[in-house]
Amino acid sequence: METAAGMPRSPCCSLPPSDPRLPSCLALQPRRAPVTLSAPAARQVVALRAAAGDRGEGETTPIEKRFPPFPAVMDINQIHDILPHRFPFLLVDRVIDYKPGEYAVGIKNVTINDNFFPGHFPERPIMPGVLMVEAMAQVGGLVMLQPEVGGSRENFFFAGIDKVRFRKPVIAGDTLIMRMTLVKLQKRFGIAKMEGKAFVGGDLVCEGEFLMATGSE
């Protein structure tokens, strides 16, 4: 077959695109439908990119701008209004989540300036386990000493602890995130059972069961 310019034309070029005699490398492939993500999956992709610092424009967000501050459901002044503890034994800096009569999530910013570090230990600053338990109990107190539970702001005591486990050390520079959940309440006797878990960066560092007592005014 000759072309208008007198040049020989390849036989395969005269075959229709779907002809089985057409070499596979030249055959037209069906167009693939574009991949679409569900809304939850799309949000997850965006969250992962944000965590990696990708703003979608080939740029990265500086690490100091990637992490939003913790919410302040209760600030330190509101905590002072509820808990009787004061320096150096107030071990809750902020409440970041709270559901009246059910649970509270508080944080303790662990710094090298905490007064227990010079002795525990001078060469390796680790937060004492008993103080982690005390901090968790104080978060539990924020649940106990509320009108929804019928507690008194004058009386708040440890009645017992059980099944306490320390999973990882907490060191200076960590932020201890503590969740205390009310499991059982005997309002008549002012006794409550609570479950507590403490985390650093998503890792479980301490957990246990707490028995707490509060009196009536």
For the sheet containing 94-99, what is the strand order? 94-99, 103-109, 175-186, 191-200, 203-213, 157-166
Taking alpha carbons only, the member of 104, 69, 84 closest to residue 197 is: 104
Q: Report whether 167 contacts 199 (CB < 8 A).
A: no
Beta strands in the chain (DSSP E): 94-99, 103-109, 157-166, 175-186, 191-200, 203-213
120 catalytic? Reply is yes
- Cis bond leading into 87, ω under 30°? no
- Active-site entry in 84, 116, 120, 197: 120
- Residues annotated catalytic, as ranges: 120
